[in-house]
Amino acid sequence: MNRKYRKTLIAGNWKMNKTPSETKAFMSELKGLLPKGRWCDIALCVPAVCIPAAVRAMRETRVGIGAENCNANPSGAYTGEISTSMLTDAGCKYVIVGHSERRAMGETDADVNAKALAALDAGLVPIICCGESLEQREAGITEEWITMQIKLALAGISEDKIRKIVIAYEPIWAIGTGRTATPEQAEEVCQHIRVVVRKLFGSKNARATTILYGGSMNEKNAYELLAQPDIDGGLIGGASLVPSKFVKIIEDANQPTA
């Protein structure tokens, strides 16, 4: 983290977990546990049907609610899809785009780019995900792959909007596997992402960009990961489903740093 230049963000991604009733119970427990410190931003990205309950419960708090996906089109014949204006109207602040689980369902780099642009237009913060597979890591092409994903995802984003994005590095081999990247491995790629952003948008914008790590981040390993200079927070799956674990990670993000 480097709080002098950029925001720290602890974001949960619930994936396909919890019902609206369970969301209500989770949020009321979370409210009771949230630390008073105001260092980091907090987000919870929840299933679409849980958004109203989450927004209602967290209205007076500093927890921003987000969606896990959006459609880039403004409206129309897209059965089952949800537009960015629907999300903002429902009270969302964030939306995850390009998660590897959605890419595995067919989302392309062009889709990710279109979704990021649509989110920014609507005033949402897109949490843009990237990450390599185990095969790519072992083939030694992690940097090339991440460079390509980031360049394609950020294409056409204007200078005045670049500071509104968040990037999440999520190595696919670390997601839901309990096999976390080491702090050094995660830092290496997050630092590389910042270099890519610098080449595209200049050093001031790169310095101000919040870059998260995700992949089996939990209450036991978060402190070490967050201590890395280019890891500005976490995108947390499993551990965000349990209030006490999620809060422990928020507390770790409140650690004093340079």
Question: Out of 68, 99, 187, 192, which one is annotated catalytic?
Answer: 99
Q: Of 68, 101, 132, 170, which one is the catalytic site residue?
A: 170
Q: Which range in 107-115, 135-143, 198-206, 209-217 contacts ligand 13P by CB under 6 A?
A: 209-217
Residue 214 interacts with ligand 13P (CB under 6 A)?
A: yes
Choose one: 22-30, 47-55, 192-200, 229-237; the region binding ligand 13P (CB under 6 A). Answer: 229-237
Least distance from ligand 13P to the Cβ atom of residue 170, Å:
5
How many residues belong to the site for ligand 13P (CB under 6 A)? Answer: 14
Distance from C-alpha of 47 to C-alpha of 76, rounded to nearest angstrom = 21
Contact window for ligand 13P (CB under 6 A) among 46-54, 107-115, 189-197, 237-245:
237-245
**Are the beta carbons of 10 and 40 closer than 8 angstroms?**
yes
Alpha-carbon span 78 to 36, nearest angstrom? 43
Residue 217 interacts with ligand 13P (CB under 6 A): yes or no:
yes
Under the binding rule (CB under 6 A), the answer on residue 13 touching ligand 13P is: yes
Q: Is position 122 an interface residue for ligand 13P (rule: CB under 6 A)? A: no
Kindly state whether residue 221 participates in binding ligand 13P, applying the rule CB under 6 A: no
Whether 188 is a known active-site residue: answer no
Q: Count helices and strands (H / E) in the chain.
A: 11, 8
The two three-digit tokens of residue 171, written as one number = 């190595």
Asked whether the beta carbons of 134 and 95 are under 8 A apart, the reply is: no
Tell the smallest beta-carbon distance from residue 216 to ligand 13P (Å). 4
Q: 73 to each of 43, 104, 115, 191, 221, how far by Cα in Å?
A: 24, 21, 8, 33, 39
Q: Which of residues 185-204 bind ligand 13P (CB under 6 A)?
A: none
Of the pair 71, 180, the CB lying nearest ligand 13P is at 180
Nearest residue by C-beta to ligand 13P? Answer: 237
Contact with ligand 13P (CB under 6 A) among 236, 247, 250, 253: 236
Residue 143 is among the residues annotated as catalytic for this protein: no
Long-range contacts of 70-75 (CB under 8 A, 24+ apart): 70/95, 70/97, 70/115, 70/118, 70/119, 70/124, 71/115, 71/118, 72/111, 72/114, 72/115, 72/117, 72/118, 73/118, 74/118
The whole-angstrom separation of Cα 112 and Cα 129 is 9
Site for ligand 13P in 158-177 (CB under 6 A): 170, 175-176
Task: Tell me the DSSP string of 195-247.
Answer: HHHHHHH-HHHHHH-EEEEESS--TTTHHHHHTSTT--EEEESGGGGSHHHHH
Interaction between residue 119 and ligand 13P (CB under 6 A): no
Q: What residues line the site for ligand 13P (CB under 6 A)?
A: 13, 99, 170, 175-176, 214-217, 235-239
List the catalytic residues. 99, 170
